[in-house]
Amino acid sequence: MTTRILLYTGKGGVGKTSIAAATAVLCARRGLRTLVVSTDIAHSLADALDTPVGPTPRLIEPNLWAHEPDVFFNISKYWRTISSYFSSLFSWGGLDEVMAEEMTVLPGMDELGNLLWIGDHVDKAEYDLIVVDAAPTGETVRLLSLPEASRWWIEKIAPIGRRVQRLGGPVLRRIVGVPLPTDEVYDSAELLLERLKYVHDLLADPDRSSVRLVLNLERVSIQEAQRSFTYFHMYGFPTDLIVANRVLPAASGAYFDAWREAQARYLPMVEQQFAPVPVRTVPFFDKEMVGVDRLAELGHALFGDSDPKEFLYRGRPYSISRDANGYTLALELPFATREDVSLSRSGDELVLQVGSWRRNLVLPRLLLDAPTQGAKMDDRVLKVRFAEPPRAKTGGSRNG
Ligand SMILES: Nc1ncnc2c1ncn2[C@@H]1O[C@H](COP(=O)(O)OP(=O)(O)OP(=O)(O)O)[C@@H](O)[C@H]1O
Ligand SMILES: [Mg+2]
């Protein structure tokens, strides 16, 4: 059986850890061997579960394991060789040894190490379901897109480096002065990138993984979710659910009237923004939702009797393709129409209006400078044409 993966992400503090742990508890109690793993460096699974969680998966209750990977273990596992090279490079540059050692934990590396664990857990095949409590969206998106960016390194730079190293390493080193990476360093870097690509492919597999965005019904949290939604689709990570957490119930009293009204205004907007991906709500509970029983309650509020590991949406409602004349952004809509599409741009947002339907779409960086050329509906798909951005044509700078 393939291990199912559910990854929860969202802005800081929206309830990612609680929702991830709640999903895991619910699934474990329904009989699935479930692991909940945190890839956020600031682990808080132990707080949510209200029990110690360690650097190796620990059984919390029948069928439920929790794992908070250890940064130092990650480092020794994946980049001891690489970091000792960096360390020699830094100390050659004049940094003292302790400082150089510290510097080799580059930003993002520790979280990257956490993500790599997903691959190991899938390989072990000991779980039916892996629930990932991921870092806030920005970090996660950046890390997940890394393999794309690093492929050129494996394919282009590494082979040249290796050749140079073999041909004239010692001589070159004397001339250049800088310590050059050895074959071992290249091996480790390649292994690391290979593992990263593996995890990337696991998370991008629509028959295995679902990314779920947690948000609160507040402007900033919704905006961040929209931005990540765009990126996840662009990079092909299947997103199948939006969780609107901490929705104030009617019984929350007059003091919260203004909050409740604002949330009531935002909810239909969120539903429209993310359609056809479904939105589900979780109430703001009147007590702290920690410990397995409370989490089970939270999970039940989100999923009821439905199966949390079900694919709640299948498809890629958003894609960008490139051809000789520019780009086409295709957006799957929940309806088909022949009405005209109107487009306007404001900052990094594209405002689309079809009849009474309206969506503010956050554009990926790639398209920020690309002029829009028009849009049309093609059955249920809205296609927006973009010309080549000016700087790509001239090959010059933004100002050139
Ligand atoms: N629906 C809810 N009702 C009541 N309290 C909640 C609810 N969801 C989350 N909480 C509480 O809100 C706090 C923050 O939640 P949580 O730690 O899950 O957020 P997070 O998104 O993981 O935060 P971080 O970005 O810091 O990792 C916790 O104290 C949690 O118990
Ligand atoms: Mg958290």
- Residue 381 pairs in a beta bridge with 332, 378
Q: Is the shortest distance between the CB of 13 and ligand 1 below 6 Å?
A: yes
User: What is the residue-level pLDDT of the chain in tens, covering all 400 positions?
Assistant: 799 999 999 999 999 999 999 999 999 999 999 999 999 888 899 999 999 999 999 999 999 999 999 877 776 666 666 666 666 666 666 666 666 555 555 556 677 788 889 999 999 999 999 999 998 876 777 677 666 556 655 666 666 666 666 666 566 666 666 666 777 777 777 777 788 888 888 998 999 999 999 999 999 999 888 878 877 876 778 899 999 999 999 988 899 999 999 999 999 999 988 888 999 999 999 999 999 999 999 999 999 999 999 999 988 777 888 988 899 998 887 667 777 788 888 878 888 887 777 777 778 778 888 999 988 888 878 899 999 988 654 444 443 3
According to the model, what pLDDT value does residue 395 have? 42
C-alpha radius of gyration, the chain, whole number: 24
Phi, then psi, of 243 in degrees rounded to 5: -105, 115
State in Å: Cα 15 to ligand 2 middle: 7
According to the model, what pLDDT value does residue 311 have? 97
According to the model, what pLDDT value does residue 148 have? 58
State in Å: Cα 208 to ligand 1 middle: 26
Contact at 8 Å (CB) between 319 and 234? yes
Under the phi-then-psi rule, with left for phi > 0, alpha for psi from -120 to 50, and beta for the rest, what region is 175? alpha
Q: Is the shortest distance between the CB of 15 and ligand 1 below 6 Å?
A: yes
Q: Is the shortest distance between the CB of 227 and ligand 1 below 6 Å?
A: no
State in Å: Cα 221 to ligand 2 middle: 15
Q: Is the shortest distance between the CB of 12 and ligand 1 below 6 Å?
A: yes
Number of Cβ atoms within 10 Å of the Cβ of 177: 8
Name residues with Cβ closer than 5 Å to ligand 2, which is an ion: 16-17, 44
Delimit the domains of the chain by residue range: 1-307, 318-394
According to the model, what pLDDT value does residue 312 have? 96
Chain centroid to CA 6: how far? 11
At 319, list the tokens.
């894609």
According to the model, what pLDDT value does residue 316 have? 75
Q: Is the shortest distance between the CB of 43 and ligand 1 below 6 Å?
A: no
Name the pTM for this structure.
0.82
Q: Of 3.10.290.10, 2.20.140.10, 2.60.40.2300, 2.60.40.790, which CATH number belongs to 318-394?
A: 2.60.40.790
Ligand 1 test: best mutation among 7, 11, 18, most atoms within 8 Å of CB?
18
Instruction: Write out the CATH class of domain 1-307.
Output: alpha beta
State in Å: Cα 43 to ligand 2 middle: 7
According to the model, what pLDDT value does residue 337 have? 73
How far apart CA 194 and CA 189 sit, in angstroms, is: 8
How far apart CA 159 and CA 170 sit, in angstroms, is: 18
Number of Cβ atoms within 10 Å of the Cβ of 34: 27
Q: Is the shortest distance between the CB of 14 and ligand 1 below 6 Å?
A: yes
Number of Cβ atoms within 10 Å of the Cβ of 53: 23
State in Å: Cα 207 to ligand 2 middle: 26
Q: Is the shortest distance between the CB of 360 and ligand 1 below 6 Å?
A: no
How far apart CA 234 and CA 229 sit, in angstroms, is: 8
Phi, then psi, of 141 in degrees rounded to 5: -60, -45
How far apart CA 89 and CA 104 sit, in angstroms, is: 10
At 48, list the tokens.
């949510």
* Atom nearest to 286 CA in ligand 1: 4
Question: In sequence order, what E strands does 103-185 have?
Answer: 129-133
Q: Which residue is associated with the tokens 């480092």?
A: 75
